[in-house]
Amino acid sequence: MPWRRRPLLTAVALLSTNAFLVCTVEPVYNFVCNHPAWERRRVRRQAEKEREELMRRMLQERLSQQQQQRQQSS
């Protein structure tokens, strides 16, 4: 087994592999996080939330107007 015969070589190989992976993680992370599809998704979700909030407010206003009309007619 290589770690029994050459522990220093195994440690160096492991450290160099980890260093290589750390160096390659940043570009991949930046590509994934800054991908245009995520921005479009974020904008679309924000628009959906705003639309839902607007509909909720309109519904509440309509309900309050109906309640006021009922109270006036009673």
What Å distances lie between residue 66 and 9, 33, 55, 62, CA to CA? 81, 47, 16, 6
Q: Give average pLDDT by consecutive 10-residue segment, the chain, 74 residues.
A: 71 91 88 87 95 96 92 83
At 74 the pLDDT is 72
In the chain, domain spans:
1-33, 35-74
pLDDT confidence of residue 65: 93
Of the chain, the end-to-end C-alpha distance in Å amounts to 92
Give the pLDDT of residue 1: 53
> HSE-up of 66 (CA within 13 Å, CB side)?
6
> For position 18, what pLDDT does the model report?
92
The model's pTM: 0.50
Judge contact between 49 and 42, C-beta under 8 A.
Answer: no
Give me the pLDDT at residue 32, please: 86
